[in-house]
Amino acid sequence: MIAVDDLIALIRNYNPKTNEKLIRAAYDFGRDMHKDQFRHSGEPYFSHPVAVAALLTEQRLDDATIVTALLHDTIEDTRASYNIVAEKFGQEVADLVDGVTKLTNLQLSSTETKQAENFRKLFMAMSKDLRVILVKLADRFHNMRTIKAMKPEKQVQKARETMEIYAPLAGRMGMQSMREDLEDMAFKVLNPEGRQSIMRRFITMQKESGDVIQKITGDMRHELEKAGVEADVFGRAKKPYSVWRKMQEKEIPFSRLSDIYGFRVITDSEEDCYRALGAIHQRWRAVPGRFKDYISQPKSNGYRSIHTTVSGRDGKRVEVQIRTRQMHDVAETGVAAHWSYRDGVRVVNPFAVDPAKWISTVTEGFGDDDDHGEFLEAVKLEMFQDQRFCFTPKGDVVKLPRGATPIDFAYAIHTRIGNACVGAKVDGLRVPLWSRLKNGQSVDIITAEGQRPQATWLDIAVTGRAKSAIRRALRAEDRERFVKLGHALARAAFEHVGKRATDKALDTAAGKLRIDDREEMLARLGSAEISASDVLNALYPELNKPADKPDVDAKRAVIGLSEGQSFERAQCCQPVPGERIVGITQRGKGVVVHAIECDVLTDFLSDSDRWVDLHWHSGQHATVHDVSLDITISNDAGVLGRICTLIGEQNANISDLNFVDRKPDFYRLTVDVELSDAEHLHRVITALEAESDVAEIRRLRDPDRGRDLH
C-alpha cells in the first residue's frame, strides 16, 4: 500500500502548493474507517482507495478530487456519513463522495429497463460535477487491475460492464489511454485465448523483423531534424484488443492487418505540426482516405491532432498522430484537463473543454419526457461515435458520427429543419436520404412545408438526437390523427342521439370521465381506449337504456353446453346469433364456438370427439358480438364521419377502427362493430353498401386468428 508521504510526493510533483494537512487527514480518516476491512485478495481494503488516488495524480487533479478518491467508499462501506465527511472535509468533498457512492450503487449491467433508468442517473450525476465520474473511472481501472481475486462469474460481469459502458465513456471524454487500457483488461477476462493469440503474433513478428518501432522512430526523427522541426517522437504497437477489433471488423487475419503500429509526434507549436506533416509525407507515401485534421476541426471533447497513415519502412503501414504538447495533455486526460494543476496553479490549457459544455453536447436534445430506453440508446450512440465534419452551404461546420446521413445533418442544424426535410444535395448533387456522409462534404437540406418525419427514418438516422426527435414527432402525429378520428366518432355518436358534440359538452364529458382535458379524451376515443358510448353515457346516462331490452343472457347465449361449461366466440369467424354454429372443446378450458363454414374446422376433422353440437338461444340478444368489417372508402373530406354516423344509426357500436392502407384516392380500414345478431349485421352492411363513397365492404374472417385458441 502506498504510504501517505509517497502519495503527497506524487501530488507535489505537479502541485507544490497542495494542502498536505488535508491530504494527511483524509488518508488517516479513510484508513481508520476501513481498518477492519479486507479485499478479496487479502490486502487491507484501504489499499484500494489509496491506489485510486494515486491514479488520479497521473491526471494532475486538484486536492478535492484526490481527497474524494481516498474517501470514496467511506459513506457506503463504513460507519461514516455524509454529515461527518462534510464536517471534517467540507461540503464540496462530501458532495463528491456522495456522488461516487450513488454511482457505485447503480447497476449499469442490469436489465435493459433498469439499466436505461440508471444510465440517466449516471449522466445526471456527471452533469453536477464531472469529477465524480473521474473518480469512478479510476476506481474501475484499479478494480480491473486486481480483478483476478474475484470469482470467475463476477470477473465476467465486471469485464463486460467495463467494455460496454466505462471504456466507451472514457473514450467519449477524450481519455483515450484509459479507454484502451480498460478495453484491454476487459478483453483479457472475456477472451483470454484471443488476447494470447495476438500477443504471440506480436512476439513472432518482432523476432522476424526486429524492433520495427525503434527503426521507424529513428527514421522519423531524422526527417524532422532535416526539416528543422523540434519534436519528440514516440512509437508503440497497438493494444491487443484494438488489433483484435480491427481483425473482426475487417474480417481479415493478423497477417493481412496493416497499421498495427502507432506513432506520436509532439511539437512545440501548431505551425510545427503542419511542418512535421509535410516532412513525413515528403519522405513516405500517404495512404489515401486516411488523413484527418482534428486541429482545424477539433472533437467536442477538446481533442486536437493530425492523423495520417503512411507506408513506412518495408512497406508497413503506420499511423502517425501529430500535435502540440498542450494538445497532447488534452489527448491524454480529455475533459479532466480542465482541472489539471502544474506548479501549484490550475493549468490554463486553451484546448481543455468546459465540462458543463461537454456534458450538454452529449445529452443535447434528450428531454425529461423521453423514456429511459430512448435515452439509453441515444447516449450509447453518442459515446460510440467517430466524428465526421460536413459543411452547410454557408460554410458552417456540422459534426456528425461515422455513418451519418443527411437526416442526421438536418436534425443537427435544427429539429424544425429535420422534421421538414424532403431531400438533400451533397456537393451540389441530389442524393437519397439514406446516403452516408463523408468528411468535408457540403450538404444542402431541401425542406417543404407540411412535410413530416416518416417512421422509416428511424432506420436511416444514426444520431441519438435525430432518432429522439423523429420519435417525438411520430408520437405527436399519431396523437393528432387519433384526436381527429376521436372527434369524428364523437360527432357521429352525438348526432345519432340528436345532440351536438360542442367543446363545452366534450370538456364536461372529459371531466366526468376523469380525463385531463378534451383533447386527451378525443385521443383515447380515436385510439379505441374508450368508446363513443362511454363519452355519451358520461353526459346522458339515461340514453343507456335500450329500446328493446335483451332477454337473452350474453353468458348463456348458446344451447348445447354441459353444466358449468363456458364458451367463447372464435375470432377467426366471429359467429353471431342467427348463424349456424358448432363447438370445439378446449382442453380443460371450455368450448370455442365457430361458424359452421369456418375454415379452421378442417383442422379437427380427425378429432371428432372434440366436436359439440350447438345453437343460439332464440330471443333478443345483447349488442355485444364484435364483427370485423374490411371497408374501402374514398379519400374525401367528411367521408369517415358519415361512415361512423351510418353505423351509429343502425344502433351498432364501433369498438375499434384501424387504417390498413392509405392512398391518394382511397383509404382501406378495418372497423370492429358490436352487433346483436346476423340480421343486425345485414342491416349495417346494407346501409354501408348504399353509401356512394364506400367502394367495397366485406366481412373480415381470418383463420390464423382462431387457431391459437386450440
Is a pLDDT exceeding 70 seen at residue 342? no
**In a domain? residue 141:** yes
CB 144 within 8 A of CB 182: yes
pLDDT band at 209 (very low <50, low <70, confident <90, very high): low
Report percent pLDDT > 90 for the chain. Answer: 23
Give the closest residue to 644 by CA, choosing from 478, 481, 479, 487: 487
Long-range contacts of 470-478 (CB under 8 A, 24+ apart): 470/411, 470/418, 471/374, 472/370, 473/419, 477/452, 477/453
CATH number of domain containing 257: 3.30.460.10
Average pLDDT, the chain: 82
Could you tell me which residue, 219 or 367, shows the higher pLDDT?
219
Query: Within 13 A of 525's CA, how many CA atoms are on the CB side?
Result: 30
Write out the three cell numbers for 332: 491524454
CA dihedral 287, 289, 291, 295 (to 10 degrees): 180
Which of these ranges, 267-276, 374-383, 404-413, 472-481, has the smallest mean pLDDT? 374-383
**In a domain? residue 341:** yes
Are residue 330 and residue 259 in the same domain, yes or no? yes
- Please state, in angstroms and rounded to a whole number, the distance separating the CA atoms of residues 603 and 706: 11
CA quadruple 678, 681, 687, 688: dihedral positive or negative?
Answer: negative
pLDDT band at 122 (very low <50, low <70, confident <90, very high): low
pTM of the predicted protein model: 0.53
- The tens digit of pLDDT for each residue in 447-469 reads 998 888 888 898 899 887 888 88
Which of these ranges, 31-45, 289-303, 384-398, 425-439, has the smallest mean pLDDT? 384-398
**In a domain? residue 461:** no
Predicted pLDDT of residue 101 = 80
Are residue 18 and residue 155 in the same domain, yes or no? yes
Are residue 574 and residue 673 in the same domain, yes or no? no
Write out the three cell numbers for 238: 497497438
CATH number of domain containing 82: 1.10.3210.10
> In sequence order, what are the beta bridge partners of 397?
391
Write out the three cell numbers for 187: 478483453
Could you tell me which residue, 121 or 433, shows the higher pLDDT?
433
Are residue 98 and residue 200 in the same domain, yes or no? no
- Please state, in angstroms and rounded to a whole number, the distance separating the CA atoms of residues 115 and 94: 26
Predicted pLDDT of residue 98 = 84
CATH number of domain containing 519: 3.30.70.260
Predicted pLDDT of residue 384 = 47
Which residues are catalytically annotated?
76-77
pLDDT band at 381 (very low <50, low <70, confident <90, very high): very low
Are residue 341 and residue 479 in the same domain, yes or no? no
Predicted pLDDT of residue 255 = 63
Q: Total domain count for the chain?
A: 4
**In a domain? residue 372:** no
At how many degrees (to 10) do helices 63-71 and 82-89 cross?
140
**In a domain? residue 524:** yes
**In a domain? residue 374:** no
Predicted pLDDT of residue 369 = 46
Are residue 109 and residue 151 in the same domain, yes or no? yes
Query: What is the 8-class DSSP label of residue 501?
Result: -
The residue among 346, 376, 397 that closes a domain is 346
Residue 583 DSSP SS3: strand
Cα-to-chain-centroid distance, residue 378: 4
Are residue 186 and residue 208 in the same domain, yes or no? no
Residue 90: other Cβ atoms inside 10 A? 14
Predicted pLDDT of residue 287 = 85
- Counting every residue, how long is the chain? 710
- The tens digit of pLDDT for each residue in 393-417 reads 887 778 787 788 999 999 989 999 9
| Mean pLDDT along residues 505-529 | 85
Is a pLDDT exceeding 60 seen at residue 668? yes
Are residue 154 and residue 200 in the same domain, yes or no? no
CB 600 within 8 A of CB 594: yes
Helix, strand, coil: what percent of the chain each, to 5?
A: 50, 15, 30
Write out the three cell numbers for 197: 493469440
Are residue 24 and residue 166 in the same domain, yes or no? yes
Give the closest residue to 129 by CA, choosing from 358, 347, 301: 358
Which of these ranges, 154-168, 373-387, 483-497, has the smallest mean pLDDT? 373-387
**In a domain? residue 110:** yes
Are residue 518 and residue 629 in the same domain, yes or no? yes
Write out the three cell numbers for 696: 367495397
The residue among 320, 346, 372 that closes a domain is 346
- Please state, in angstroms and rounded to a whole number, the distance separating the CA atoms of residues 458 and 480: 20
- Please state, in angstroms and rounded to a whole number, the distance separating the CA atoms of residues 248 and 243: 9
pLDDT band at 24 (very low <50, low <70, confident <90, very high): very high
Which DSSP string do the residues of 216-271 spell out, in sequence order?
Answer: HHHHHHHHHHHTT--EEEEEEEPPHHHHHHHHHHHT--GGG----EEEEEEESSHH
Are residue 203 and residue 183 in the same domain, yes or no? no
**In a domain? residue 299:** yes
Are residue 702 and residue 607 in the same domain, yes or no? no
Is a pLDDT exceeding 60 seen at residue 120? no
The residue among 346, 380, 397 that closes a domain is 346
Intra-chain end-to-end CA distance of the chain, in Å: 69
Q: Which domain holds residue 567?
A: 554-615
